[in-house]
Chain A
């Protein structure tokens, strides 16, 4: 009997699941989604035939096509926060060394396919400075402990030690480099170097001026170093046997060597009088003959550096890496930029989806009644309608010209993205192309728990034409640590006031909900001294009436306290007072989640099978906080709190023993979902908690946190997640009518899970298909169809940004990490949209046919009537 029951339950579940999961049809692939692959900031780059092999700070090895710049293959190694790539060389295969201070992995990769060929490990006990280089299939590993060089030579393929030697070498400075078989150090005012072989002696290169001197590797086939004595002056020293030889003329610090049909060349980049142009200089090493070309450096990129070069038959490809992580390939004698890659997009720190402005024509229709007298209004109407007609007949030229125009369903948006390198991008959701870029020099993101974030606020949307939309970005000055503010138009990327460097540090910021007379939502910036500043300054009057209803909370991660502040107006200024503090004691705060300010909850309750309503406790001011405390018995104890941000009232708290991070929280409507790793069962668990007010609503017209009369009822249930989530997010729609989807970012993509699967079931209420309720299953199913990125792997997902479209059924999803993936999801399917294969022509034909037939029959009927009347 029990078997039959379980079979029944499984069948019910399967049928329900097949209804809930939404796979993509093959012809829909790429129709409304796009993916961009990135590799990160380039650390090593080498050309190989028509490929460009790069090793990046994201601990990624990749091959790019030197023709187009597309990623041919990409191999993602360990997490860059733990291990870093230290060496990339192309011998027969690609050799990489990556690791941390005492554990290194040597890998060789096939150049053509990117397949891993060999992999072995170097493990060391002593933590000193290690240097690696490859020469003739030998891997030289040099450990420098101040007075002695311990050199070990490995066979690259097998990992066997071929030889090891010790060379006395005294250098206290950390300015040491290994160039092929030469080890060189900058010591005070000389450069000492030694060749790594038995009985070799330390030689010395004297320097003219030792102030701010630096040494670096000269990238070429022959072993050589560059000694930089000032920002524009440096010299190349070639090693040859035990001797060295200086290049005759001084060069720029970023010089690079390449061999063009047997002739060694030096490439250098120099600035010109025209700030938008750059000069490439190629010098033949042997006779000093020079060839220079000036080219226009693309606007909006940072300071460039030569990363790699390749010459085939006097045509050279130069790879330039800019300060904002962009990669450019410049073909030399033509001095033409072949392609540009914006690698800054591999580290996104803030995102925002923005509505596009209406087209000029629609705007003129909207402004119809703003005109003065009747005649001008009439003329206006006639001209706009003529233009509408011509657009209808000849196709809209305006759309073709700019492209960035609002559509009917809000599916075309612009994504504003801020990156760690301080570059802003505007990305078109339809194609994924970059609409604009804007570079902010000397800017870094804020540190927030274990991630880095900038604060991006939308002060004015594009609704108020002719006023442009306005966004504000808050970040940190990378030199002083003070705050910076930049206001810009998110549609064009134009900034009127440019960057404003503040003279205080930013603690938090808050966007007020009410517009001022220019439709700008004022931004309150709260400084580390506890002062509040308002931007724009003129908005003081607008917030005067609302200041007393506005509250600001700050979470001090170091002290593990939550503070609530109340805003009030004093004269012309905005002040704050501390209204509550919650001290989370010795436990450590690990995660925080607040509800999206634009979220709307459509249904105020849950319908029970007896058709009564159980009202939801929808508190928009509720914060979810997770803390982890050490415990002598249970190792770690995870505590979850739901705290009202206005009053500091703890609405709910729970704890899990022997739980550890990473903790992810998702907070929406009246529920909270969090995931943690249970050490007791060694698995990831997901807990859903839902808050209810009861069978009556205490106040159905207004919600005030200050008027809480009773604790909410909480229903919880927990599940096993057979995966390791990286981040969690939830779908968001315009009116909140559509069902919710949860997005779990796993290590190869993002899975959508219906909230209905996780929603806690009431213990005393029957659950079955009649109640459209899925019986409780302890394990969350992760079917392949539920991957929103279908068969495309998304690497190192850092976050998921979600925004509603104007179509109620649809939300925009942007998954960012090493890849950028955009798609649209419809949790309740596109119920408000006709299907793509809907036959418009057929239905029009049928309707027209029916009308015609009815007229014809009417005629015949009247004829017949007439005849009968004469009979």
Chain B
């Protein structure tokens, strides 16, 4: 992978050191010894920086989604009908799926991305929190005692009573 990638990268490198080096005098204030050195450094740091940037982009994506989700949920309203339920369901399921697939997402980034992963999971957890809050405001969470009322067993009868009007 690395040699191929290297080749592909070098396609984009302008090598102005090779051609007609002797023909032309260096421009004033040009120090020829500086160029190859600086080239080597910039190449390395640039890739690393890009990778980190990319990984941070990935890690922060769920957080960036949050405002849009907030807006969507606000627009969906609190009534229980098929579309809001679908939206809330997606909002709840997608982060969970994404959290499960965290490792796969960060696999292509070779460097140590523990921090990014934590941020990524936290972002998704924020989304789940938002979905739960939405469920709660829609009244879908069984958090009140009345939600469990149907499961309350009738108390056992301790005494048994019978009788009626005295017939004689």
In Å, the complex CA distance between A511 and B162 comes to 7
17 example contacts (A-B, Cβ-Cβ < 8 A) are as follows A446-B167, A481-B168, A507-B168, A508-B162, A508-B167, A553-B161, A555-B163, A594-B161, A594-B164, A604-B152, A604-B154, A608-B146, A611-B144, A613-B145, A613-B146, A621-B161, A700-B155
Q: How far does the Cβ of A632 sit from chain B's closest Cβ, in whole Å?
A: 29
Contact of B83 with A by CB under 8 A? no
Q: Please give me the residue from chain B that is nearest to A476 by CB atom.
A: B167
In the complex the two chains form, is A646's CB within 8 Å of B159's CB? Answer: yes
User: Which of B153, B158, B160: most chain A Cβ within 10 A?
Assistant: B160
A446-B167, A448-B167, A556-B166 are contacts. A646–B154 as well, Cβ < 8 Å?
Answer: no
- When distances are taken between beta carbons in the complex, the residues of chain B under 8 Å from A621 are 159, 161
In the complex the two chains form, is B163's CB within 8 Å of A554's CB? Answer: yes
In the complex the two chains form, is A557's CB within 8 Å of B166's CB? Answer: yes
Listed from nearest, the 7 A-B pairs whose CB atoms lie closest are: A510-B162, A704-B158, A611-B144, A553-B163, A703-B155, A528-B168, A607-B146
- When distances are taken between beta carbons in the complex, the residues of chain A under 8 Å from B156 are 701-703
Out of A557, A597, A607, A699, name the residue touching B165 (CB < 8 Å).
A557
Contact of B149 with A by CB under 8 A? yes
In Å, the complex CA distance between A621 and B159 comes to 8
Contact of B150 with A by CB under 8 A? yes
In the complex the two chains form, is A508's CB within 8 Å of B164's CB? Answer: yes
Q: What total of A-B pairs shows CB separation below 8 Å? A: 126
- B-contacting 9-mer, from A31-39, A151-159, A371-379, A543-551: A543-551
A507-B168, A508-B167, A700-B152 are contacts. A550–B160 as well, Cβ < 8 Å?
Answer: yes
In Å, the complex CA distance between A868 and B40 comes to 50
- When distances are taken between beta carbons in the complex, the residues of chain A under 8 Å from B154 are 600-602, 604, 618
- When distances are taken between beta carbons in the complex, the residues of chain B under 8 Å from A645 are 161, 163
In Å, the complex CA distance between A725 and B59 comes to 74
Contact of B46 with A by CB under 8 A? no
In Å, the complex CA distance between A447 and B165 comes to 9
In Å, the complex CA distance between A557 and B164 comes to 11
In Å, the complex CA distance between A667 and B150 comes to 23
- When distances are taken between beta carbons in the complex, the residues of chain A under 8 Å from B160 are 512-513, 546, 549-551
- When distances are taken between beta carbons in the complex, the residues of chain A under 8 Å from B168 are 481, 505-507, 528
In the complex the two chains form, is A703's CB within 8 Å of B157's CB? Answer: yes
A604-B149, A704-B158 are contacts. A552–B163 as well, Cβ < 8 Å?
Answer: yes
Given A512-B160, A524-B162, A703-B157; 8 other pairs, CB 8 A cutoff = A481-B168, A550-B161, A557-B166, A600-B154, A604-B149, A611-B144, A621-B159, A701-B153
- When distances are taken between beta carbons in the complex, the residues of chain B under 8 Å from A802 are none
Residues on B facing A (Cβ under 8 Å)? 144-147, 149-150, 152-168
Q: How far does the Cβ of B38 sit from chain A's closest Cβ, in whole Å?
A: 54
Out of A505, A602, A620, name the residue touching B161 (CB < 8 Å).
A620
Q: How far does the Cβ of B147 sit from chain A's closest Cβ, in whole Å?
A: 7
- When distances are taken between beta carbons in the complex, the residues of chain A under 8 Å from B166 are 507-508, 554-557, 563
In Å, the complex CA distance between A607 and B152 comes to 13
In the complex the two chains form, is A554's CB within 8 Å of B165's CB? Answer: yes
Contact of A869 with B by CB under 8 A? no
Q: Please give me the residue from chain B that is nearest to A563 by CB atom.
A: B166
- When distances are taken between beta carbons in the complex, the residues of chain B under 8 Å from A506 are 167-168
- When distances are taken between beta carbons in the complex, the residues of chain B under 8 Å from A611 are 144-147
Out of A507, A552, A607, name the residue touching B167 (CB < 8 Å).
A507
Q: How far does the Cβ of B97 sit from chain A's closest Cβ, in whole Å?
A: 28
In the complex the two chains form, is A605's CB within 8 Å of B152's CB? Answer: yes
In Å, the complex CA distance between A612 and B166 comes to 44
In the complex the two chains form, is A555's CB within 8 Å of B165's CB? Answer: yes
- When distances are taken between beta carbons in the complex, the residues of chain A under 8 Å from B144 are 611-612
- When distances are taken between beta carbons in the complex, the residues of chain B under 8 Å from A551 are 159-163
User: Which of B147, B156, B159, B163: most chain A Cβ within 10 A?
Assistant: B163
- When distances are taken between beta carbons in the complex, the residues of chain A under 8 Å from B159 are 549-551, 621, 646, 704-706
In Å, the complex CA distance between A607 and B153 comes to 16
In the complex the two chains form, is B165's CB within 8 Å of A449's CB? Answer: yes
Contact of A115 with B by CB under 8 A? no
Contact of A184 with B by CB under 8 A? no
Q: How far does the Cβ of B146 sit from chain A's closest Cβ, in whole Å?
A: 4
Q: Which of A772-792 contact B (CB under 8 A)?
A: none
Contact of A442 with B by CB under 8 A? no
- When distances are taken between beta carbons in the complex, the residues of chain B under 8 Å from A565 are 163
- When distances are taken between beta carbons in the complex, the residues of chain B under 8 Å from A594 are 161, 164
Contact of A200 with B by CB under 8 A? no
Q: Please give me the residue from chain A that is nearest to B155 by CB atom.
A: A703
In Å, the complex CA distance between A110 and B128 comes to 83
Contact of A603 with B by CB under 8 A? yes
Q: Please give me the residue from chain B that is nearest to A524 by CB atom.
A: B162
- When distances are taken between beta carbons in the complex, the residues of chain A under 8 Å from B146 are 605, 607-608, 611-613
Contact of A592 with B by CB under 8 A? yes
- When distances are taken between beta carbons in the complex, the residues of chain B under 8 Å from A603 are 149-150
User: Which of A506, A612, A618, A621: most chain B Cβ within 10 A?
Assistant: A621
Q: Which of A538-583 contact B (CB under 8 A)?
A: 546, 549-557, 563, 565
- When distances are taken between beta carbons in the complex, the residues of chain A under 8 Å from B155 are 604, 618, 699-703
In Å, the complex CA distance between A833 and B159 comes to 36
- When distances are taken between beta carbons in the complex, the residues of chain B under 8 Å from A554 are 163-166
- When distances are taken between beta carbons in the complex, the residues of chain B under 8 Å from A592 are 164-165
Q: Which of A627-681 contact B (CB under 8 A)?
A: 645-646
In Å, the complex CA distance between A263 and B157 comes to 75
In the complex the two chains form, is B158's CB within 8 Å of A706's CB? Answer: yes
Q: Please give me the residue from chain A that is nearest to B159 by CB atom.
A: A646
Q: Please give me the residue from chain A that is nearest to B158 by CB atom.
A: A704
In Å, the complex CA distance between A607 and B155 comes to 18
Q: How far does the Cβ of B79 sit from chain A's closest Cβ, in whole Å?
A: 12
- When distances are taken between beta carbons in the complex, the residues of chain B under 8 Å from A513 are 160
